Amino acid sequence: MVCGPEMARAVNEFELSQELIKHEQSKGPNVRHHEQVESKQKAFEKQVIALTATIEEMGNPFLEESEDLLVLDTRDIVDPKVANTVRNIEQIGNDKYHEYVRERLDKRTTPLSDPIKQNKLHLFSRQELRSESKEKRQISSLKQNCSLFSQLYVSCQVRDSDLDEFFRHENQAYPPSLSQFGQLRLGSKSDLLVPLEKMCVIVTEIPDVDAIILDGAVIVNILKPRFCKTFEDYSKQVFLPHINNYLKSCSRIDVIWDEYRQDSLKASTRGKRGKGIRRRVQADSTIPGNWESFLRIDDNKTELFAYLAEQLLTLTPSVQTTVVSTKGSEVVCNKPDKNKGNLSPCNHEEADTLTEDFKLLSDKPNEDCVNEAVLNIERFVVLMYDRTSECLGVDAARKDLFTRKGRSIENIPPSSAALHQHIKRAAYQAGFCWGQALVKLQETPSPSIWGWKRNKEGLWEPFWTSLQQALSPKLLRLNEDESNTTDIARKVRDQTHRIEDYILMDGRGVCTYGIFKKTNAKL
């Protein structure tokens, strides 16, 4: 109210000046601003109309009820760290100001000439730091561990330690045969196709079936958006026509969608697939240009699968055809009167059985059956590494392959303790996850007693072994004085020590010359 009269005066003066300009234009040269000409005014009007139409088409952005920060046109959701910076930027500045006044003016503990520490805030233009490449990490790991295990082995020999006990332990926190940079080492699924193809009968004609079960996540990965502009276009022009093609040869289709849980055992595996951009999935949202990158984000897939499950209900039902789809833990159907009591709710995470011991582990496993199967599985693992070996256990095979055959630490079996935890992880997956594939509500125990543990972020990661590492001074029989003075102890405690040891062994794998330090002399 205070500035009202002043604003009225400014408006009046502006209008009078415009009238004066128009009057002067008729008498002399054109003194108008370059944006006051007719062509500029028409272009501006056209742009305003286009902007208004776009806003009306997209809807009111202020109706967004979530706490996400998103781009208006593409519906890309900004990284939560950037959104947190935007929300708290004023408070961060105030805190910095009060800290400056408190330390430099009030308490006088910091000189005025000291620079202010920079805030490393997550901003729109600042990208996340790239993680070190796999090749660099592998080279670094090899440099640290290529000779350490050999040095520990010689140390045990020099001090008359129990070598059998030594080979029961791993040389690092993560067993190289089971892990890769602290993560569970994964196999290649495509390697299974070769033996499976030999077991399958070749079928040249499509069999007559009544029902077809589809993995929805696979369908979405196969069907690219191509020329679709919005998710509604993708549903109507690509996805639903594909489903209709299956209905021509059967009377029922079940589409099963994956669930992406925060504490899933597969969370670390999905994280290896790369990063993408988070985008809100709505009917009028623009399709992302990079479909593969979009599908790397679990939240993107969760919203997309829920949207497509709803679109499946729009398929016109008939007496002969039925479409059933999962939607989270619930099941939906294009026939509302269909009884879904035997399907919903379900707690399966994904849309996904042998020797006697493997069958035992996959049929409601427990600790006793794991202990019962360990001996046979150890022999099986030994033969995987050396088919001519006569060793019955993996610890004995580790010693034999390392000392007699000169295998590197990455090419010998895991220790018995590490293999035991790996067997428990496999039994959990086979017995409690795959073994209950036909049960709508799975009863699964805590993974913490089946070879897993939670990390600081609350996510599940492998529990590698219950035994200490091989570089323990207790295993090397080092007393307190020796552990602080001898070259061996210093080498164990400092893997970057610039002394390279040469180990000479006879044919039985026994060290005959001990440890030799490298000199400048030619060897």
**How far separated are the first and last CA of the chain, in Å rounded?**
94
The 10s digit of each residue's pLDDT in 248-275 is 888 888 888 888 776 666 666 666 665 6
**Is the predicted pLDDT of residue 181 greater than 70, yes or no?**
no
**Is the predicted pLDDT of residue 169 greater than 80, yes or no?**
no
Compute the distance between CA of residue 444 and CA of residue 437 in angstroms, rounded to an integer: 12
The 10s digit of each residue's pLDDT in 159-168 is 666 666 766 7
**Is the predicted pLDDT of residue 517 greater than 50, yes or no?**
no
**Is the predicted pLDDT of residue 511 greater than 50, yes or no?**
no
Find the range with the poorest average confidence among 385-389, 412-416, 464-468: 464-468
Task: Quote the pLDDT of residue 381.
Answer: 84
Residue 161 in 3-state DSSP? coil
Over residues 419-437, mean pLDDT:
78
Residue 32: pLDDT band with limits 50, 70, 90: low
**Is the predicted pLDDT of residue 356 greater than 70, yes or no?**
no
Quote the pTM value: 0.54
Share of the chain above pLDDT 70, in %: 64
Domain-located, residue 130: no
Residue that is last in its domain, among 462, 484, 506: 462
Write out the two tokens for 220: 């979405």
Task: Quote the pLDDT of residue 59.
Answer: 65
Write out the two tokens for 72: 């208006």
Over residues 340-348, mean pLDDT:
65
> Would you give the DSSP letter of residue 316?
P
Q: Give the domain extent around 492.
A: 146-169+470-517
Compute the distance between CA of residue 523 and CA of residue 516 in angstroms, rounded to an integer: 11
Together in a domain, 400 and 299: no
- Total domains present in the chain: 6
Task: Compute how many other C-beta atoms are within 10 angstroms of the C-beta atom of residue 375.
Answer: 12
Domain-located, residue 431: yes
Task: Quote the pLDDT of residue 146.
Answer: 52
Find the range with the poorest average confidence among 32-36, 296-300, 392-396, 426-430: 32-36
Residue 514 in 3-state DSSP? strand
Domain-located, residue 504: yes
Together in a domain, 273 and 255: yes
Together in a domain, 25 and 45: no
Task: Quote the pLDDT of residue 434.
Answer: 72
Domain-located, residue 341: no
Together in a domain, 302 and 212: yes
Enumerate residues 6+ apart whose C-beta is below 8 A from 384: 413
Together in a domain, 321 and 233: yes
CA 357 to chain centre: 32
**Is the predicted pLDDT of residue 399 greater than 50, yes or no?**
yes
Residue 521: pLDDT band with limits 50, 70, 90: very low
Together in a domain, 41 and 18: no
Together in a domain, 366 and 444: yes
Q: Measured between alpha carbons, how far is residue 198 from residues 190, 203, 206, 354, 380 in Å?
A: 14, 13, 20, 16, 22
Domain-located, residue 235: yes
Domain-located, residue 132: no
Task: Quote the pLDDT of residue 51.
Answer: 84
Residue 460 pairs in a beta bridge with 454
Domain-located, residue 233: yes
Q: Are strands 252-256 and 211-215 parallel, antiparallel or unpaired?
A: parallel
More confident residue, 24 or 329: 329
Residue 98: pLDDT band with limits 50, 70, 90: very high
The 10s digit of each residue's pLDDT in 59-97 is 666 666 667 777 766 667 777 788 888 888 899 999 999
Together in a domain, 396 and 493: no
Write out the two tokens for 115: 């620079």
Domain-located, residue 120: yes
Enumerate residues 6+ apart whose C-beta is below 8 A from 460: 263, 264, 265, 267, 268, 447, 452, 453, 454
Task: Quote the pLDDT of residue 46.
Answer: 92
The string of DSSP codes covering 341-363 is TTTSS----------HHHHHHHS
Over residues 317-344, mean pLDDT:
74
Backbone angles phi, psi at 322, to 5 degrees: -140, 135
132-137-140-144 Cα dihedral, nearest 10 degrees: 130
Task: Quote the pLDDT of residue 483.
Answer: 41
Compute the distance between CA of residue 196 and CA of residue 113 in angstroms, rounded to an integer: 72
Compute the distance between CA of residue 372 and CA of residue 523 in angstroms, rounded to an integer: 52
Together in a domain, 427 and 408: yes
Together in a domain, 187 and 72: no
Q: Is residue 140 within 8 Å of residue 181, measured between CB atoms?
A: no
Residue 30: pLDDT band with limits 50, 70, 90: low
Task: Compute how many other C-beta atoms are within 10 angstroms of the C-beta atom of residue 361.
Answer: 25
Compute the distance between CA of residue 291 and CA of residue 297 in angstroms, rounded to an integer: 11
**Is the predicted pLDDT of residue 400 greater than 50, yes or no?**
yes
Task: Quote the pLDDT of residue 268.
Answer: 61
Over residues 203-216, mean pLDDT:
83
Catalogue the long-range contacts made by 402-409 (C-beta closer than 8 Å, 24 or more residues apart). 402/149, 402/153, 402/167, 402/509, 403/153, 403/505, 403/508, 403/509, 403/510, 404/507, 404/508, 404/509, 408/146, 409/145, 409/146, 409/149, 409/171, 409/176
Q: Tokens 């427990």 correspond to what residue? A: 366
Together in a domain, 57 and 68: no
Compute the distance between CA of residue 66 and CA of residue 76 in angstroms, rounded to an integer: 13
Closest CA to 334 of 343, 342, 344, 324: 324
Together in a domain, 21 and 54: no
Closest CA to 214 of 264, 266, 249: 249
Compute the distance between CA of residue 258 and CA of residue 265 in angstroms, rounded to an integer: 14
Q: Considering the chain, what is the average pLDDT of its residues? A: 73
Closest CA to 361 of 380, 378, 379, 374: 374
**Is the predicted pLDDT of residue 58 greater than 70, yes or no?**
no
What is Dmax (Cα atoms) for the chain?
113
Over residues 381-399, mean pLDDT:
83
